[in-house]
Amino acid sequence: MLPCGHIAVAGPRRVCRHLTESEAEVPYVRLFSGRGVEYDLCCPPCGESGPELVVACEGCVARVDEDEWECEGFRGKPEVKERPEPIPGALRRVRLPFAPLDAAPIPSLPHRWLLLDKGAVVRWRSDQNEAVGRVRLKMPARAGEGYFKDQPARPRLHASPSGRYCAVVTDFGRYGTVVDLTSGRRTATLDRDGHYPGTTYFPFAFVSHVAGERFIHATGWNRLDVSDAATGRLLTDRAFLVPEGSRLPDHHLEYFHGALAVSPDGRWVADDGWVWHPVAMPSVWDLSAWWQNPYETEDGPSIRRLAHRSDWNMSMCWLGGKLAVGGLGGLEDSPLLPGVRIFHPETGAEENAFAGPEGALFAAGGKLVSAAPGGAEFWDAGTGERLGRIPAFVPIRHHPASGELLQLAGDTAILHEP
Ligand SMILES: [Zn+2]
Ligand SMILES: [Zn+2]
């Protein structure tokens, strides 16, 4: 018989005695055990005093830990695992002709980037430090936007897979623009409506399609659409009708869309959004299902809500077919703890988690790179071990074709080349 009073298989976590005494769902805290991100469970008073923990059966552990709304957060510190090894590659500093507001890799072309100047986009070759071609554009308006003190409205540049099109959107703002760089013509004006646009990055992503390049963009706080990059034509038209006797339309979605990340194979879209009041709810859905069902992003069967937690606007990146989401913790852990959780997009199951990574995340050379404030850190995402770091180098972008990591510092580009 186990200390919880049951003759059963021992559960994966230990618990304090007070949690074994109640059959009801009760408040509890998660106590890091010191082994990776493993944790035990105890009542909140025991969480303050170093409790005596006992083995409990699988059923008892599941009963306590299954209701995340009762969880009052983590206590203690997780273990950050280390396995130091040399980080291949070198840093190179390059003087640019101006101080870019942002930079975006052209995904299909090694060493080719777009740089954003005030009112213009410039093509740039990082291997030859050559700025070739300057296309003027009208910057989207961003007066009075932004919501969080530390997240002001700011322009962000996106490049289409071929580099023919670019978008300048306002993160933590409402508007954006899409431009054909071969002609300088604006093909679309983006507007995601005025309902709290300052709470998230502008939901935007270019995608490849056999019929041509397309882009996903928010057209409302709770609505995403796909449009043709060449013409701006809307491809996901759909009606939201209010049934008689109802206040809300069919397919109504209570979800603020956030930063989007499309998987490298183009199948999955991850969405770092939130729901009132507020609960962060990173999600993923199947882009190919959207072509069949125009309501896929509202209530389609492929949607997986991956977690409920305190903060959004954390970084996400795709890593060998899985989604890495930055930040550890639940509804009461604010801010979230440095770390990464790795999810399977099809099942939504969490497959791995480890402590340590913070800042923007990149999949680079088979490793996970985190742009921590003190410098880039390289991780083995399989074992969760930190392999090494490059002090004072804080990249903002990764080039998927040439593997460069890029930091902008005034009119200087700092490149890490593998
Ligand atoms: Zn207790
Ligand atoms: Zn039990």
The dihedral sign for the CA sequence 322, 328, 333, 338: negative
DSSP of 334-346, one letter per residue?
Answer: SSPEEEEEEE-TT
Report the candidate in 104, 180, 98 with the shortest Cα–Cα distance to residue 135: 180
Last residue within a domain, chosen from 23, 49, 79? 79
Query: Do 64 and 129 reside in the same domain of the chain?
Result: no
Q: What is the pLDDT of residue 26?
A: 83
| Number of separate domains in the chain | 2
Across the beta sheet with 120-125, what order do the strands follow?
Answer: 102-105, 112-117, 120-125, 130-136
Look up the pTM and report it: 0.95
Query: Do 62 and 162 reside in the same domain of the chain?
Result: no
Looking at all shown ligands, the one closest to residue 45's CA atom is 1
Ligand 1 centroid – CA 18 distance (Å) = 4
Ligand 1 centroid – CA 8 distance (Å) = 22
Q: How crowded is residue 279: how many other Cβ atoms within 10 Å of its Cβ?
A: 16
Q: What is the pLDDT of residue 339?
A: 98
Query: Do 378 and 412 reside in the same domain of the chain?
Result: yes
Q: What is the pLDDT of residue 10?
A: 95
Alpha carbon separation from 16 to 11, 35, 46, 330, 332 (Å, rounded): 13, 18, 7, 20, 20
3-class state of residue 396 by DSSP: coil
Query: Do 71 and 95 reside in the same domain of the chain?
Result: no
Query: Do 107 and 127 reside in the same domain of the chain?
Result: yes
Query: Do 237 and 317 reside in the same domain of the chain?
Result: yes
Q: Which residues form the domain of 174?
A: 90-417
Residues with CB under 5 A from ligand 1 (ion): 16, 18, 42-43, 46
Report the candidate in 336, 332, 226, 351 with the shortest Cα–Cα distance to residue 289: 226
1 found inside a domain: no
Query: Do 54 and 105 reside in the same domain of the chain?
Result: no
Query: For residue range 156-213, what is the model confidence (pLDDT) as tens digits?
Result: 999 999 999 999 999 999 999 999 999 999 999 999 999 999 999 999 999 999 999 9
Ligand 2 centroid – CA 2 distance (Å) = 7
Q: DSSP character for 254?
A: -
176 found inside a domain: yes
Query: Do 102 and 74 reside in the same domain of the chain?
Result: no
**Could you say which residues of the chain have pLDDT below 50?**
none
Query: Do 135 and 203 reside in the same domain of the chain?
Result: yes
Ligand 2 centroid – CA 3 distance (Å) = 8
Last residue within a domain, chosen from 79, 113, 132? 79
Looking at all shown ligands, the one closest to residue 28's CA atom is 1
Q: What is d(CA 272, CA 254) in angstroms, rounded to the nearest whole number?
A: 14
Looking at all shown ligands, the one closest to residue 8's CA atom is 2
Q: What is the pLDDT of residue 66?
A: 82
Query: Do 134 and 21 reside in the same domain of the chain?
Result: no
Query: Do 210 and 330 reside in the same domain of the chain?
Result: yes
Q: What is the pLDDT of residue 311?
A: 96
Looking at all shown ligands, the one closest to residue 19's CA atom is 1
Helix (H) or strand (E) holding 77: none
Q: What is the pLDDT of residue 22?
A: 75
Ligand 1 centroid – CA 63 distance (Å) = 15
Alpha-carbon Rg for the chain, nearest whole angstrom, is 23
Query: Do 206 and 328 reside in the same domain of the chain?
Result: yes
Instruction: Provide the CATH number for the domain around residue 129.
Output: 2.130.10.10
3 found inside a domain: no
Q: What is the pLDDT of residue 367?
A: 97
2 found inside a domain: no
Q: What is d(CA 238, CA 290) in angstroms, rounded to the nearest whole number?
A: 12
5 found inside a domain: no
Contacts of 302 (CB under 8 A, 6+ apart): 285, 286, 289, 296
Report the candidate in 275, 342, 344, 265 with the shortest Cα–Cα distance to residue 304: 344
Q: What is the pLDDT of residue 163?
A: 98
